[in-house]
Amino acid sequence: MDKGGFFNKTKLVYLVLALFIALPGCGGSTYEKKGEEAKPSTSYEENSKVSEKKDIIIAMVPKSLDNPVFLDALEQGERVGRELGVKVEWQGPMQSDTNVQIAIVESLIRRRVDGIVISCIDPGKIKPVIDKAVQAGIKVATFDSDSPDSNRLFYCGTDNYAAGVACGKALIKEAKAKGKDKQALDLLIMTADKESNNLNKRLNGFLETAREGGIQLNITATLYCNDDVNIAGDMLENHIRTGDTPDVFFSTGGWPFVSPPESLPGFHAWCKNGGISILVDTYYPVLEAAEKGLADSLVGQNFNKMGELSIKNLYKAIKGEKIPSSFIDTGLELGNKSNFAKLLQGKQRWEIK
């Protein structure tokens, strides 16, 4: 091989490459529009930050994942999220547990999500971590069950005291209809726990209204189901069969009627023998049980609206828009023997996902 010819060719190649790299616009180092001064490009890292579009993430945190009452809120929250281009996540304890809720919110803070909507089990214990999330720049709201002393933006859900008042009025009406309004009535209560803000308001509204209406109530027992629909029906049935027989049963939620009505024969017999049964909630299985004779009156909540309006309004807040109120009322639905069938027609059977 002619070494001199090889080196001459090599020099020519390097010269061509040098000229190519020196040409304006080549290599991606500069870009100059006609009549404009050339500006240096951003680095790869900076360019990634500029071009990357961050998804808005809102996490919904129910009291528990094993309570299907929250499914309507999830379904509507996800629907609104799709319409708005928001990623809606569903995270909660498998069973009602405030410590797990706190851990979930802590993890959401570390991830720097944009928004959190939470149904609070214990309003006092959850308050510090809600305030921590707000301080970190996350928009936080509550649904279903509030933490009113926290720095959350708004509560979206039922006026729970008003729901209790409606239940108290229903008891007065039923007691008069059955000729029991002049006697002291033994009362059996079912609720989830001692801490939930929403449930305590319902209970207070019920007791105060009934007593102001002249009904004498003697609380004989309170059953705490821990928001667990899997045990609530058995707790009620076992108490009716083995405990002191009450005159009135009041439940701050529909937990015991998620079980098939056929699984509550003792309670059904108690109802037929003149027992007064009043509950909060009008979702499908509760109405189905009521139509079969297991309830005299129901006061319902709108979980569809809770999911829809929570996401819509938290999205507004994330975008810097004004929200209408710190309390977004989702309304009440009143049910009794005259309209149980009609209300049931407007409901859908649950699809457990």
Q: Are residues 295 and 315 in the same domain?
A: no
Q: Are residues 166 and 243 in the same domain?
A: yes
pLDDT digits (tens, 9 = 90+) for 45-63: 333 343 345 799 999 999 9
Cα–Cα distance measured from residue 89 to residue 61, given in angstroms and rounded to the nearest whole number: 8
pLDDT digits (tens, 9 = 90+) for 312-329: 999 999 999 999 999 999
Q: What is the CATH number of the domain that holds 127?
A: 3.40.50.2300
Among 300, 269, 277, smallest CA distance to 287 is for 300
Q: Are residues 88 and 171 in the same domain?
A: no
Q: How many separate domains does the chain show?
A: 2
Q: Are residues 296 and 308 in the same domain?
A: no
Question: Can you give the pLDDT at residue 352?
Answer: 52
Question: Can you give the pLDDT at residue 38?
Answer: 37
Cα–Cα distance measured from residue 255 to residue 233, given in angstroms and rounded to the nearest whole number: 7
Q: Are residues 125 and 170 in the same domain?
A: no
pLDDT digits (tens, 9 = 90+) for 161-183: 999 999 999 999 999 999 999 99
3-state SS, residue 164: helix
Q: Would you say residue 340 has pLDDT above 90? A: yes
Quick one: pLDDT band at residue 348, thresholds 50, 70, 90? confident
Q: Are residues 142 and 266 in the same domain?
A: no
Cα–Cα distance measured from residue 299 to residue 287, given in angstroms and rounded to the nearest whole number: 11
The answer to whether residue 98 is domain-embedded is yes
Quick one: pLDDT band at residue 85, thresholds 50, 70, 90? very high
Question: How far from the centroid of its chain's Cα atoms is residue 39's Cα?
Answer: 50
User: Average pLDDT, stretch 14-25?
Assistant: 34
The answer to whether residue 24 is domain-embedded is no
pLDDT digits (tens, 9 = 90+) for 125-144: 999 999 999 999 999 999 99
Please state at what angle helix 303-318 crosses helix 71-84, rounded to 10 degrees: 40
Quick one: pLDDT band at residue 243, thresholds 50, 70, 90? confident
The answer to whether residue 68 is domain-embedded is yes
Question: Can you give the pLDDT at residue 165?
Answer: 99
Range of the domain at 97: 56-158+302-322
